[in-house]
Amino acid sequence: MKAGQWQKTLGLGLHGRVLGVFGYGNIGKLVANYGRAFGMQVLIWGREGSLSRAQADGFAVASSQEDLFSQADVLSLHVKMVPETRGIVKASDLARMKPTALFVNTSRAALIEPGALEEALRAGRPGNAAVDVYEVEPLTASPLLQMDNVVCTPHLGYVEKDCYEVYFDAAFDNLVAFTAGNPLNIVNPQTLTRN
């Protein structure tokens, strides 16, 4: 509005739409509950253990990854980035999405097969995307920035005061525990026994 613009298109209501949540960890669970609060039909896909938790929480579980992508009106990606999940979202998954669907990635760019999202958006399936994470950050040049059907944000998902306070508190607690001889959250404990 500051630039003199006003809406020119119709929005998409959420009530009754299908929210696909790929990855039912802490963030995926929160997103699923937000969808429920908006009256969306929530459909979950992820690891076997997380699917059991989703069902226990009253959410429907997709029969497959393909089913999740084909049914979702909005698909939100919340998979942890580990070597096994790199490229877990394929071009074929995106091609299954509705032309009216919105694909949201606030997780990690490397979860999507390289070039697959740009190709899918050009083909119109999904019709839209919202992206907060990129292979190279800060993002200076990307086809996504030139696409009218994409909203790009500068990795704002974790840049908030409360998150930084949690990170720094945890780092401080770990340092204090280590110096007291009671190390916490050790990723490589074998290094503690070296002289």
Catalytic residues: 108, 137, 155
Distance CA 62, CA 64 (A): 5
Question: Pick from 176, 69, 151: which is nearest to 113 by CA?
Answer: 69
Residue located via tokens 């999904």: 126
Residue type, 148: D
Sign of CA dihedral 170, 172, 177, 183: positive
- Residue 2: burial class (beta carbons within 10 Å; 0-12, 13-18, 19+): exposed
- Residue 117: burial class (beta carbons within 10 Å; 0-12, 13-18, 19+): buried
